[in-house]
Amino acid sequence: MPTVSFAKGPATVNTDRVASIRAARIELNSISSMLGEEDPRRDVWPHLLGIGTSTAVADPNAYVVSLRKKLRATRRAVTVTTPSSLTLSSRNGAIRLQIRNDSPEDLTVRLRLTSAKLKLVDPSRIITLYSGSTTEVSVNATTRTSGEFPITVWVATPQGNAEVVPLITITAKVTAIAGFGQLVSISLLLILLAWWWSHRRSARHERENPTTVSEQ
């Protein structure tokens, strides 16, 4: 935290500074919702912003900059690991994501998945990420057709919906119809075998019991 020193002259209005303070306040309110109730940063961060808004401090902007760096570092501690595409071998499957928290403290985020073609079970949920660990999240998905469908993965703050991880798009490849086609092919093969066996038995029966025509 910068050392507090007081200004010697009258304060002047700086529009850039006002915009920076406004942005810092919005970030603070959103990212604070990621912290646990007992996390000391819930008290430290507002204190930094309070000094940064003071007109009696020699360099108040330094406190705003310091605060925003801390907020940015908290967001960057969260990362998502997922392949760019995944395959669902049936019309009912699961989409698995791994969310990493490299922060020394537990963090809470909001995870939201959206897809125009897939029906997702509980696609929006609040997740607690334990410090220095990876959390695996599984979201069940169903569809009535096969094909490739985009899924949007969004990780944000629990309150304020501030972006924590840049938007991710993955492609789900559903091969359910291919499996159905295999089932139909097997069924047709069984029908063909049954017909062949029946025809073979009939031909054999005719050979063993030939029909004779008597002469008049």
Alpha-carbon span 52 to 37, nearest angstrom: 24
* pLDDT, tens digit, 9 for 90 and up, residues 197-207: 777 777 666 66
- If asked whether residues 144 and 112 sit together in one domain, one would say yes
- If asked whether residues 94 and 128 sit together in one domain, one would say yes
Q: Does 214 reside within a domain?
A: no
- If asked whether residues 138 and 47 sit together in one domain, one would say no
- If asked whether residues 49 and 88 sit together in one domain, one would say no
**Domain of 96?**
78-177
At 40, the pLDDT band (50, 70, 90 cuts) reads: very high
Report the amino acid identity of residue 53. T
For the chain, give the mean pLDDT: 84
The pLDDT, as a whole number, for residue 197 is 74
Identify whether the C-beta of residue 172 lies closer than 8 Å to the C-beta of residue 95: yes
Residue 64 above 60 pLDDT? Answer: yes
* pLDDT, tens digit, 9 for 90 and up, residues 176-193: 654 455 555 666 677 877
Alpha-carbon span 17 to 60, nearest angstrom: 9
Residue 214 above 70 pLDDT? Answer: no
- If asked whether residues 104 and 168 sit together in one domain, one would say yes
Identify whether the C-beta of residue 39 lies closer than 8 Å to the C-beta of residue 105: yes
Higher pLDDT, 6 or 55: 55
Alpha-carbon span 10 to 175, nearest angstrom: 71
Q: Assign residue 97 the CATH number of its domain.
A: 2.60.40.10
The pLDDT, as a whole number, for residue 153 is 96
At 194, the pLDDT band (50, 70, 90 cuts) reads: confident
Higher pLDDT, 36 or 193: 36
DSSP H helical ranges for 83-175: none
Q: Report CA-CA distances (Å) from 44 to 40, 55, 71, 105, 196.
A: 6, 20, 12, 15, 83
- If asked whether residues 173 and 89 sit together in one domain, one would say yes
Percent of the chain with pLDDT over 90: 55
* pLDDT, tens digit, 9 for 90 and up, residues 86-118: 888 777 889 999 999 999 999 999 999 999 989
- If asked whether residues 137 and 166 sit together in one domain, one would say yes
- How many domains, in total, are found in the chain? 2
- This prediction has a pTM of 0.72
Identify whether the C-beta of residue 197 lies closer than 8 Å to the C-beta of residue 174: no
Bridge partner residues of 92 (DSSP): 142
Residue 41 above 70 pLDDT? Answer: yes
Q: Does 111 reside within a domain?
A: yes
- If asked whether residues 82 and 144 sit together in one domain, one would say yes
The pLDDT, as a whole number, for residue 10 is 46
- If asked whether residues 90 and 149 sit together in one domain, one would say yes
Q: Does 150 reside within a domain?
A: yes
Compute the residue count for the chain: 216
At 174, the pLDDT band (50, 70, 90 cuts) reads: confident
Alpha-carbon span 86 to 171, nearest angstrom: 6
Residue closest to 101 by CA, chosen among 115, 111, 92? 111
- If asked whether residues 72 and 100 sit together in one domain, one would say no
Across 41-53, average pLDDT: 94
The pLDDT, as a whole number, for residue 6 is 44
Identify whether the C-beta of residue 111 lies closer than 8 Å to the C-beta of residue 196: no
- If asked whether residues 89 and 65 sit together in one domain, one would say no
